């Protein structure tokens, strides 16, 4: 047999380690072109009576799966508490098949779970799961987002009245905006308190999650505020932000109240002149 | 990089791995450990608590960055985005050094988040040496590479691990983080003599030791970092101190992490062993003349 190259060796090991039902099944699933030799894995990996080659590789396969499972259990505590250990484990098996990690940091391994859940059979029985997962991932993202200093009332007071329509507001980089079909924030809070998450109420709701100094905060907001913040986050002008808010409630007092709230919550980190791009 | 002449970095003493569960204790007590080792990837974030915490700790202690995703032996191209992050971290926190593992962690753009062994071939050696040199150029500093615990070896390996590790360090001009527990675990799993391994490693290349606990699975040992350091590993550590001197030593604990004082007690034990071995070496080097006692008339 020709000696396998480093790349051939690594690609073979990667396929076998990530095979969902173990190395032996992974070996059977290889087609002839994937096989490096007729003699099987033993021609590449040393084995002995005590520990045959397949078992040696299975040690790595187990560590791969359980390390990721443990990391995702941390990120998705409420999803785990809701579906239980066995279903969560099956979910992660399916997930890793579709989204094997590619980022150098384990921190990002769970990034695709919320959209993945939308088409997963678990969500047919419990349709709130994608919302719950999106909520938990927003917490992860807010936790280590970039720092930014807040502006104060004085910064806005210094803006000339004529400049307001073209003013662009900069938002805290940690701000996560969620439009949800289920009140998953309530079930998340129950899990935090050590209670069963239970099934959340089905109702449209809007949530913002952000970080102030080192603390991650969350607030349920109204649809008009969500629309205004979404426009601000997209870099729209203040005039457009007002229009988006006004689609829900047309009142100058409302916009003024929202600005006050955003200042008080530390959501505003800068403002500059809007340019059409 | 215009490479400065090789010198082994000054020893830091005995430290422990920095883990979030211990942050409250550290900030309350500022415990007397010599240094902390921080997992580099945990701080490759944009803001928030992780960087804030590390800034506070760095104000009081020396730190070393220990990476887990360099994947120096991967057939994939080097990840320069990752290296850029590592360089920025090193510039900001000024660690005593930066280390990672002699292994591969993924291929084909995927990451296994595990430390996989390499085949010890001429191809792998040339590949790793060239990549270490490029990494050191990007970082503007030498790195140290750690021997990993392994559960398999390759039929096409052409040399033992200690020969491969030594060749990498000497040809790429980098340091070695010698994990004493990993030598022990691999020695049991692959039935080699751990002392033969250590005797082959060039003394001046070793910048740091790791000590950690492993689990006995009957047919093999697993490097779990969830137990106290085993007595057999402490014995091997003493052998390592005799050969390499009082090298910076770090206690690693990643799962079932004990309260900080227990972790600190292990670092203290390592320090006492260093002092003993140092005293022994001094006594051997400077034998005192015999003194007549004449305590009886």
Nearest-Cα residue of chain B relative to residue A105: B41
Q: DSSP assignment, residue B43?
A: G
What secondary structure letter does DSSP report for B9? P
pLDDT by residue for chain A (277 residues), tens only, comes to 578 999 999 999 999 999 999 999 999 988 766 666 667 899 999 999 999 999 999 999 999 999 999 999 999 999 999 999 999 999 999 999 999 999 999 999 999 999 999 999 999 999 999 999 999 999 999 999 999 999 999 999 999 999 999 999 999 999 999 999 999 999 999 999 999 888 999 999 999 999 999 999 999 999 999 999 999 999 999 999 999 999 997 788 999 999 999 999 999 999 998 766 5
3-class state of residue A122 by DSSP:
helix
Of A175, A169, A178, A167, which is closest to residue A147 (Cα–Cα)?
Answer: A175
Q: How close is the nearest chain B Cα to the Cα of A193, in Å? A: 20
- B220/A106 touch (CB, cutoff 8 Å), yes or no: no
Q: Supply the DSSP symbol for A200.
A: P
Q: Nearest-CA neighbor of B99 among B227, B9, B199? A: B9
Quick one: DSSP state of residue A112? T
pLDDT digits (tens, 9 = 90+) for B249-270: 999 999 999 999 999 999 999 9
CB nearest A144 (choices: B48, B82, B156): B48
Q: Does A14 contact B222 at a Cβ distance shorter than 8 Å?
A: no
Q: Which of residues 30-59 of A touch B (CB under 8 A)?
A: 42-46, 50-51, 53, 55-57, 59
DSSP 8-state class, residue A170: E
Residue found under tokens 């993945």: A116
Q: Provide mean pLDDT across the span B118-125.
A: 98
Q: Characterize the bridge pairing of strands B248-252 and B63-66.
A: unpaired
Residues B28-76 have pLDDT tens digits of: 999 999 999 999 999 999 999 999 999 999 999 999 999 999 999 999 9
What local confidence, expressed as pLDDT, does residue B76 receive?
Answer: 98
Q: A98 contacts in B (CB within 8 Å)?
A: none
Check residue A122 and give its pLDDT: 97
**Cβ contacts from A onto B, under 8 A:** 129
Q: Which residue of B has its CA nearest to A11?
A: B107
The structure tokens listed for B152 are: 């398999």
The span from the CA of A52 to the CA of A45, in Å, is 9
Q: Are residues A202 and A181 in contact, defined by beta-carbon separation less than 8 angstroms?
A: yes
């Amino acid at each position: 047999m020709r000696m396998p190259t480093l790349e051939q060796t690594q690609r073979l090991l990667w396929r076998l380690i990530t095979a969902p039902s173990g190395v032996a099944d992974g070996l059977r699933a290889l087609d002839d072109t994937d096989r490096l030799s007729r003699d099987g894995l033993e021609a590449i990996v040393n084995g002995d009576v005590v520990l045959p080659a397949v078992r040696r590789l299975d040690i790595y396969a187990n560590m791969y799966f359980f390390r990721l499972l443990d990391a995702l259990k941390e990120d998705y505590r409420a999803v785990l508490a809701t579906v239980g250990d066995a279903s969560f484990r099956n979910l992660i098996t399916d997930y890793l098949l579709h989204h094997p990690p590619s980022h150098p940091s384990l921190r990002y391994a769970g990034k695709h779970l919320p959209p993945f859940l939308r088409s997963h059979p678990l969500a047919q029985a419990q349709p709130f799961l994608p919302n719950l997962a999106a909520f938990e991932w927003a917490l992860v993202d807010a936790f280590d987002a970039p720092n930014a200093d807040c502006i104060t009332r004085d910064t806005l007071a210094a803006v000339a009245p004529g400049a307001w329509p073209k003013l662009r507001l900069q938002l805290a980089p940690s701000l996560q905006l969620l439009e949800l079909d289920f009140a998953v924030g309530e079930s998340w809070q129950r899990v935090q308190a050590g209670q069963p998450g239970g099934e959340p109420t089905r109702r449209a709701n809007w949530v913002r999650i952000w970080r102030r100094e080192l603390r991650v905060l969350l607030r349920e907001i109204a649809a008009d505020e969500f629309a205004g913040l979404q426009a601000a986050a997209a870099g729209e002008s203040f005039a457009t932000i007002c229009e988006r808010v006004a689609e829900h409630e047309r009142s100058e007092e409302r916009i003024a109240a929202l600005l006050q709230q955003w200042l008080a919550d530390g959501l505003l980190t800068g403002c500059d002149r809007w340019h059409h791009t | 990089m215009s490479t400065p002449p090789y010198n082994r970095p000054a020893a830091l003493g005995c430290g422990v791995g920095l883990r979030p569960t211990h942050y409250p204790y550290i900030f309350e007590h500022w415990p007397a450990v010599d240094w902390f080792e921080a997992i580099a990837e945990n701080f490759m974030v944009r803001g928030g608590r992780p960087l804030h915490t590390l800034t506070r700790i760095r104000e009081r202690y020396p730190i070393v960055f220990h990476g887990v995703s360099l994947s120096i032996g991967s057939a994939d191209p080097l990840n320069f985005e990752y290296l850029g992050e590592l360089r920025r971290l090193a510039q900001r926190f000024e660690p005593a050094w930066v280390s990672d593992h002699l292994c591969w962690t993924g291929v084909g753009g995927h990451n296994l988040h595990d430390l996989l062994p390499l085949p010890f071939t001429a191809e792998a050696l040339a590949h790793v040496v060239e990549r270490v040199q490029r990494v050191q150029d990007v970082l503007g500093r030498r790195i140290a590479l750690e021997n990993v615990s392994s559960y398999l070896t390759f039929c096409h390996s052409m040399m033992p691990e200690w020969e491969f590790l030594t060749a990498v360090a000497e040809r790429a001009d980098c340091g070695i983080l010698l994990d004493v527990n990993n030598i022990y675990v691999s020695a049991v799993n692959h039935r080699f003599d751990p002392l033969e391994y250590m005797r082959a490693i060039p003394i001046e290349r070793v910048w740091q030791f790791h000590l950690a606990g492993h689990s006995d699975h009957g047919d093999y040992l697993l490097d779990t970092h969830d137990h106290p350091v085993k007595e057999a590993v402490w014995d091997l550590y003493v052998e390592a101190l005799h050969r390499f001197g009082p090298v910076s030593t770090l206690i690693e604990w990643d799962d079932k992490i004990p309260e900080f004082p227990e972790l600190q007690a292990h670092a203290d034990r390592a320090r006492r062993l260093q002092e003993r071995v140092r005293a022994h070496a001094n006594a051997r080097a400077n034998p005192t003349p015999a003194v007549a006692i004449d305590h009886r008339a």
